[in-house]
Amino acid sequence: MTSLSAPKGSIARAARVLEVLSLAHDGADLTEIVAQSKFSKTTTFRVLAALREIDYVFQDPATRIYRLGSKLAELSRNSERINVSALAERGMNRLAEMSEDTVFLSVPEGAVSICVNRKVGAFPIRTLTLDKGDRRPLGVGAGSLALYCSLSDEQRAAVCRVNKSWLADYGVTDENLTVEYTFFKENGYARNRGGVVNGMSAIAVPVMTASGRLVAALAIGAINERMEASRINDLILPGLKREARRLAGRFNALEKEQNK
């Protein structure tokens, strides 16, 4: 990472911390940011705390590594982050047309799941439990559960610790998450059976690259009557898995290109 001289002023300090993180492609811990920004530990921590409050920066709960947040990516087309929503656009349209239900795309950010896109199908009763930009603790909702269940044991434990009170707001306990994790491992998808909005259910699958990177989760939600087992197994789940493979394939190609 390139060494930078320290600027003065609160805005300039925030900009320098963001610049340091932009040069750290795998993120950086507090010690690294202190070294590169030339700020004191106290100043660096204060700047990071302020940036986290506005979602310009987030911290991985397991590794304590800081990375640039989704809000910052929205402000700049020059961000190095890949626009997951754009890459998934056609696949989500296919799923919405095929199922006639609502399709959601969520991405992980630390201990949080963020809905980055939504497509509404033709069925007249719509499932609008999430909108673009909505944030939930990992483990709440089908897409968020698919992300949570795709993490390592250590990462899941860290998420539960960090999100304990937030999960409690949704009535979600460690026992609930253990049950859903077991279901996910046995069936290959995550489920939400009216846990967020009564009468509405959803299932989701993760999008994983060949290198094991968790990119996103694709979910389809509908009224309970349209989420019976036969429809899930014959139509919805195959469609989700097909589009998840396609999206993962696009990321695999991008990773190969970047590694040349």
Q: Which of 73, 70, 203 is nearest to 149 (CA)?
A: 203
3-state helix, strand, coil in the chain (%, to 5): 50, 20, 30
Residue 3 in this model has a pLDDT that exceeds 50 = no
Mean pLDDT of 9-36: 90
Bridging pattern class, strands 112-119 and 135-137: antiparallel
**51 neighbors 57 (Cβ within 8 angstroms):** yes
Q: Which residues pair with 193 in a beta bridge?
A: 201
Most confidently modeled range among 97-111, 123-137, 186-200: 97-111
Domain with CATH 3.30.450.40 in the chain: 84-258
Assign 2 a pLDDT band (cuts: 50, 70, 90): very low
What homologous superfamily does CATH list for 84-258?
GAF domain (3.30.450.40)
- Mean pLDDT of the 108-132 span: 90
* The predicted structure's pLDDT at residue 80: 34
Indicate the helix (H) or strand (E) that contains 252. helix 237-258
How many percent of the chain have pLDDT more than 70? 91
For residues 32-42, average pLDDT: 94
Residues 103 and 100: their CA atoms lie apart, in Å, by 9
- Whose CA is closest to 61, among 149, 140, 156, 171? 156
Architecture of domain 10-77: Orthogonal Bundle (1.10)
Residue 6: pLDDT over 80: no
Query: Is pLDDT at 134 greater than 60 in this prediction?
Result: yes
The pLDDT score that the predictor gives to residue 217 is: 98
Task: Spell out the residues 6+ positions from residue 144 whose beta carbon is closer than 8 angstroms to its own.
Answer: 106, 113, 136, 137, 138, 217
Q: Where are the beta strands (DSSP E) in the chain?
A: 57-59, 66-68, 102-109, 112-119, 135-137, 190-193, 200-208, 214-223
Determine the pLDDT at residue 74.
Answer: 64
Decide if 145 contacts 159 (C-beta within 8 A): no
Express each pLDDT in 168-191 by its tens digit: 999 999 999 999 999 999 999 999
With 0-12 CB in 10 A as exposed, 13-18 as middle and 19+ as buried, what is 130?
buried
Within the chain, all domains assigned CATH 1.10.10.10 are found at 10-77
Distances (CA, A) of 212 to 62, 223, 239, 255: 17, 33, 21, 12
pLDDT at 71 over 50: yes
Averaged pLDDT of the chain: 89
